[in-house]
Structures are given as structure tokens and as C-alpha cells.
Amino acid sequence: MKTFAFDRPRSPSTPRVPEDTTARRAATSSATMRAMVYRRYGPPEVVALAEVPKPEPKDGEILIRINATTVTSSDWRARSLTVPPGFGLLGRFAFGVFGPRHPILGTELAGIVESVGRSVTRFKPGDEVFAFTGGKYGCHAEYRTMAEDGLVERKPTALSFPEAAALSFGGATALIFLRNKGGMEPGERVLVVGASGGVGSAAVQIAASLGGDVTGVCGPSSVAMVRSLGANRVIDYTQEDFSAGSAPYDIILDTTGTASFRRCERVMRPGGRLLAVAGSFSQTLGFGKPSKASGKKVVTGVAAPKGDDIRFLAALAGAGAYRPVVDRSYPLARAVEAHAYVDAGHKRGNVVLSVYQDPELASTQGRRQ
């Protein structure tokens, strides 16, 4: 385990990290846990393994022993302070002006309820759950508390812990854009640009399960995978430009930021919606948006899931209609490698961090069982 040194003064709420945590491992008590922590924005190496206080469930909260979590495009953005074109300084307000507001990354998890606070009725110790923490992060750790009425649900038995950990981020984004914001109807023709990524691989499955006629756009090595997820047609973006085609779409969901309205307009049906998941600042402000007379729309914004969305995803997974794609899995302690892989922008589906199975953490985890 790396030695972790702070690069700025610690605030009272900052977890204390010993200078040489390896030497002090023997002194680790059940009041601490291991987590991947970052204190400044930068490359994957700003993230390091550290000993931090183990959270305790308050009234109405549950404590989850994390089995698996993911490294997503959200973790990449928050770690490197990389925001979509035009958002500039707004990124600092979102993630922390003087440094990261949430030093432990990770937006989603799957694990086992270890203990519950007073007045908790929905869960009991031993329950297998998955959860979404979104912009509050905090999942790249051995433990996380959640409000029992937060975005936490029983793990679908059809999914493994790594799959359940990857259920929410891409799934909720895809569901909210397609169904809630895009008003997708059965029978509509849906084009997913970036169909092999975390959001795209979920969007293909969810659009198909909502009765859409789905076409996916991806690179050559992902064509077979995207077809297997339920796409009726797949366009290899290195061979063919979807916007030069003749088939019009009701919905174009773009996760890559490459599909401007100008580019898509010709292949959108009247009433068509361009769902700009990775929309630029100017798109968000409405620049270049279609005239009302065209009946076409550009939809941007942030996907903020509610309990119903998460339950819908769990039900889809339970029915076999949605299975998160796991590309690679790394032990928590090797999260730097996972970040580097995600940064490259070529992941297929999801990158998982295995927490409970991490051999580097095994000694303390065994003691805490």
C-alpha cells in the first residue's frame, strides 16, 4: 500500500491518514477502513490508498460493507476536473473550488448490509444491496453508509456483485434520458451513438426493453457486443457516418459529444429528439437548437435518478432485460490502473473495483467479518 501524504492542510472533517500506513496496519482498528482518496485534481496517480475513519450508521441509515464498485466517466471528470466543452470554471463549483469536495470517489456500489441505525425497517444485517451515491461519491472504500430511504435497493439475484455495482450509473442515465426526458415510445427508432460505453451499453438494452427499434454506433471491436445487447443494426463509426445514412430516427442518444443537431437534423424524423447526454455548454444554453416549426428537439441536462428509476432498473435486471456489461475488474488497491484505463476513453461497458475480494485488504477484512 502506498504512503499517502497530504498536499494541503487538513480540515477538521478530513479523515486522518497516517504517514506510513503500511507500518501501522497492525494498529488498524475496526474504527477505520481503507479507501482510495484524492486531495488534488490531476492524473490517475493523485488517487492513493489510505486509512480513513469507518462511517457509522446514524438513525435511519444502514452501513454497507462494499463488495464491488465502479470507476466511471464521472470519476474521471471529478478527479481530473475535465468538464464538457464550455463549462470551464463551473467544474470547480461542481467538484470543489479549492480542491475535491468529496475525497473518496465512486458513484455506485454493491455489497452487504453490515449494521443498521435506529429506526431502520427496510433493511437488516446480511441483506445484499446495490446503491447509487451520484455526486456525493464515497464508494471507493470498504464501507459506505446510506439513508435507508435513499437510492439503495436489494441486489437483483440474477446479477453478481460486480454487475450489480455497475447497475446504476449508466442505467439511470440512459433510462432518464430515454424515458423521462426523451419520452420514448414503443416502436420508435432509436440511435445510440457511443453504444459500447457505460451509458451507451445500458441505453441499447433499455431502449430495446422499452420496445425500441435500436441501432448502435460503436467502434469495430464492439460491433458483436452491441448487437448482443439488443441492437437490431450496428454502425461501425470507423467505416460509416450515421448522419450520411437515409434511415430517419425518432431518438438519437449521443454519449460522445460528436452528434450536434446540425449533424443529426437530416436523419431525425419530425418530432425527433436529440438526447445530448454529453452536451456542451452552448447546447445546454440552447444555441443551435431547432426551430419550433421543425418539431425537433435537443434535450440536455443532468440525469438525477429517483428511487423509482433505480427500482425500475432492478426490475429490468431481475427480468433478464438489463445486464450491466463488465469490461475489466481491478482490486480496489489498484484503482490507479482502473482510472488510467477509464481515462483512455475506450472502455466497453463498465470498469469494476473489487473491494471485498481485494487480497491487499484481506487481512483487515477477515478480522472485521
CA separation for the pair 274, 125 (Å, rounded): 44
To ligand NAP, the closest distance from the beta carbon of 288 in angstroms equals 18
Binding residues among 96-155 for ligand NAP as defined by CB under 6 A: none
To ligand NAP, the closest distance from the beta carbon of 327 in angstroms equals 8
Beta-ladder partners of 34: 51
Which span (71-79, 110-118, 133-141, 286-294) binds ligand NAP, by CB under 6 A?
71-79
Residue number, 57 or 197, with CB nearest to ligand NAP: 197
- Give exposure, 49-81, as e/b (b: 16+ Cβ within 10 Å): bbbbebbebeebbbbbbbbbbbbbbbbbbbbbe
CA separation for the pair 268, 190 (Å, rounded): 10
From candidates 204, 214, 252, 278, binder to ligand NAP by CB under 6 A: 278
From candidates 198, 272, 305, 324, binder to ligand NAP by CB under 6 A: 198
Binding residues among 154-173 for ligand NAP as defined by CB under 6 A: 170, 173
Tell the burial category of 126 from Cβ atoms under 10 Å away from its Cβ (0-12, 13-18, 19+): exposed
Closest C-alpha to 142, from 50, 60, 57: 50
Binding residues among 211-270 for ligand NAP as defined by CB under 6 A: 217-219, 222, 237, 255-256, 258
Tell the burial category of 1 from Cβ atoms under 10 Å away from its Cβ (0-12, 13-18, 19+): middle
To ligand NAP, the closest distance from the beta carbon of 328 in angstroms equals 12
Question: Does 306 help bind ligand NAP (rule: CB under 6 A)?
Answer: no
Which span (37-45, 110-118, 330-338, 341-349) binds ligand NAP, by CB under 6 A?
341-349
- Angle, helices 335-343 vs 73-80, to 10°: value is 100
**Residue 64 in 3-state DSSP?**
strand
Which span (124-132, 148-156, 260-268, 342-350) binds ligand NAP, by CB under 6 A?
342-350
Question: Does 305 help bind ligand NAP (rule: CB under 6 A)?
Answer: no
Closest C-alpha to 195, from 254, 248, 242, 250: 254
Q: How far is CA 249 from CA 182, 185, 188, 205, 348, in A?
A: 13, 12, 8, 17, 24
Question: Does 328 help bind ligand NAP (rule: CB under 6 A)?
Answer: no
To ligand NAP, the closest distance from the beta carbon of 252 in angstroms equals 12
Query: 457516418: which residue's cell?
Result: 241
Query: 432498473: which residue's cell?
Result: 313
The DSSP code for 117 is: -
Question: Does 324 help bind ligand NAP (rule: CB under 6 A)?
Answer: no
Specify the pairing of strand 108-116 against strand 189-193: unpaired
Question: Does 348 help bind ligand NAP (rule: CB under 6 A)?
Answer: yes
Kindly state the number of chain residues that form the binding site for ligand NAP, as judged by CB under 6 A: 28
From candidates 73, 215, 260, 364, binder to ligand NAP by CB under 6 A: 73
Question: Does 284 help bind ligand NAP (rule: CB under 6 A)?
Answer: no
CA separation for the pair 254, 56 (Å, rounded): 40
Closest C-alpha to 351, from 205, 200, 163: 163
To ligand NAP, the closest distance from the beta carbon of 358 in angstroms equals 23
Which span (4-12, 70-78, 147-155, 311-319) binds ligand NAP, by CB under 6 A?
70-78
User: Which residues of the shown chain bind ligand NAP in the complex (CB under 6 A)?
Assistant: 72-73, 77, 170, 173, 193-194, 196-200, 217-219, 222, 237, 255-256, 258, 277-278, 302-303, 345-348
